[in-house]
Amino acid sequence: MTRTTAADVRRDITARYRARTAKSRARHAEALRYLPGGETRGATRISPYPTYMTAGEGAWLRDVDGNRYLDLLNNYTSLVHGHAPPGIVEQAADQLLRGTALGTVAPPQVSLARQIVERVPGIDMLRFTNSGTEATMMMMRAARAYSGRDIIVKIDGGYHGSHDFVEISVGAEAEAGLEPKARLESRGVPSSVLQSALVAPFNDLERMAALLEAHHERVAGIIVEPMPNTGGMIPPAPGYLAGLRELTDRYGVLLLFDEIVTLRLAPGGFQQIAGVLPDLTALGKIIGGGFPVGAFGGRREIMAQFDPAQHDQALFHSGTFNGNSITMVAGEEALRRLDAAAIARINGLGERLAAGINALFAALGIRAQCLGYGSLQQIQWTDAPVVNLGDARRAAQDTGDLHALLQAELLNRGVYSSNRGMFSVTTPLQESELDLALAALKGALQTLLPYMREVAPRLLR
């Protein structure tokens, strides 16, 4: 009997993908004429070409070829209530008939702001933006203005959007134990931004303390995702976030939480889970009820910098669609429906998914693990501890196209997930659908075993 090779596995997965997505392939060929790379968002790239989805309903998606998929991506965690959620759709449609963006402050903006302030412990006041990128950018500017200092310390490997000041060290330092240095992530970002950035590894209070000891007089704040998601879903070590609070207090530096992804884990976000109050918080994704959004907020005296009545040199912040009524009414309804019980339920489903994936790894003899918290989970291709984003980066090294092939094979089996092995769970998802997902994962991992044996033998026992 001839042995299945890695090339056979790739050929088989790709052939089956192509056979069921002819219309997607045609759309992609057309898209390449107008959109560089055929898309507008790196995260939606799928190998060999994207599946074109045309409709979503609850936890399910439908593509142009008529295939259905269980959605475990939900627009990178932002659609916590799934697609076209009843109730939220009606609210948005009702507002649509009365105007989308009225060019003034409208009541829904105040209601959503009140709801967020009531939920998130670290937010006394906030302002809305149209994306998480703008939210972290403005949050960092507010911290610099308040402190009169320029440097923001970011986590090695941390992702906070695509503005210049965070396009730094987004790929974590690959070499274990190396002191991470601030590196430009992209061509086109001016090297001058490196003068206002320092980088420290996640979950390492000692290094952070040393950095602040040496530079605190120039440091405005530390920006950190309480549980880094891009490349990670790495939970903070016990005491890490409290340790950051202690260090920032000791050195008179602000603590900035990016909770754009982690807000969904508790009514008040991860800061509530950890019992740690940041000075400023950035939000996005779920707070827009499915529409483009971002927000940043925090301590009253820091946010008061945006109030011309309180500051001679108030900070300017604008944006044509900031606080538009469609996003605000949809966000208000989405948050109202995401109460403590709903969050507990999806966190339970997420933990069940992770336990199921870990059981599959054990049964199939694969040295990998699913890491995360509640409704946010991610595969790491190692069974060794993954403590920071450098560990996560090393886990993905030397695994060839494993992430991409897993994504494609899951699509072949009717499950849509991310191209980095990340999964998130929505409120419409049912237990029986989770069973479908686990069956698809089992089949996909079995299909990939020969690929792992040849390309990444370290993964197999």
* Residue ranges binding ligand PLP (CB under 6 A): 76, 131-133, 136, 159-161, 225, 229-230, 258, 260-261, 284, 294
Q: How far is the CB of 447 from ligand PLP (least distance, A)?
A: 29
- The residue from 49, 159, 416, 451 that is catalytic is 159
For residues 159 and 165, which CB has a smaller minimum distance to ligand PLP in the complex?
159
Q: Using an 8 Å Cβ cutoff, are 118 and 261 in contact?
A: no
Cis peptide before 121 (omega within 30 of 0): no
248: amino acid identity, one letter: T
- Cα separation values, 368 from 344, 357, 391, Å: 26, 9, 13
* Helices and strands (DSSP H and E) totals, the chain: 15, 14
Backbone angles phi, psi at 369, to 5 degrees: -150, 155
For residues 322 and 447, which CB has a smaller minimum distance to ligand PLP in the complex?
322
Q: How far is the CB of 228 from ligand PLP (least distance, A)?
A: 8
For residues 19 and 35, which CB has a smaller minimum distance to ligand PLP in the complex?
35
For residues 131 and 382, which CB has a smaller minimum distance to ligand PLP in the complex?
131
- The residue from 63, 156, 204, 258 that is catalytic is 258
Q: How far is the CB of 176 from ligand PLP (least distance, A)?
A: 24
Q: How far is the CB of 229 from ligand PLP (least distance, A)?
A: 5
Tokens of 442: 């089992």
For residues 230 and 324, which CB has a smaller minimum distance to ligand PLP in the complex?
230
- The residue from 49, 63, 154, 285 that is catalytic is 285
Q: How far is the CB of 67 from ligand PLP (least distance, A)?
A: 26
Rounded CA separation 120/116 (Å): 6
Those residues whose C-beta lies under 8 Å from the C-beta of residue 258, and which sit 6 or more positions away, are 132, 136, 158, 160, 223, 224, 225, 281, 282
Catalytic site residue 34? no
Rounded CA separation 201/177 (Å): 10
* ∠ Cα 152 133 280 (to 5°): 50
Q: Which residues pair with 280 in a beta bridge?
A: 256, 298
Q: How far is the CB of 261 from ligand PLP (least distance, A)?
A: 5
For residues 132 and 428, which CB has a smaller minimum distance to ligand PLP in the complex?
132
Q: How far is the CB of 134 from ligand PLP (least distance, A)?
A: 7
- Start-to-end C-alpha separation, the chain: 23
Nearest residue to ligand PLP on Cβ basis: 132
For residues 186 and 430, which CB has a smaller minimum distance to ligand PLP in the complex?
186
Catalytic site residue 69? no
Q: Using an 8 Å Cβ cutoff, are 72 and 94 in contact?
A: no
139: amino acid identity, one letter: M
At residue 354, the 3 state secondary structure works out as helix
Q: Using an 8 Å Cβ cutoff, are 49 and 61 in contact?
A: no
Catalytic site residue 159? yes
Rounded CA separation 326/358 (Å): 41
Q: Which residues pair with 199 in a beta bridge?
A: 154
For residues 222 and 441, which CB has a smaller minimum distance to ligand PLP in the complex?
222
Those residues whose C-beta lies under 8 Å from the C-beta of residue 390, and which sit 6 or more positions away, are 156, 157, 172, 173, 174, 175, 176, 178, 180, 201
Q: How far is the CB of 383 from ligand PLP (least distance, A)?
A: 26
Rounded CA separation 439/436 (Å): 5
* Positions marked catalytic: 159, 258, 285
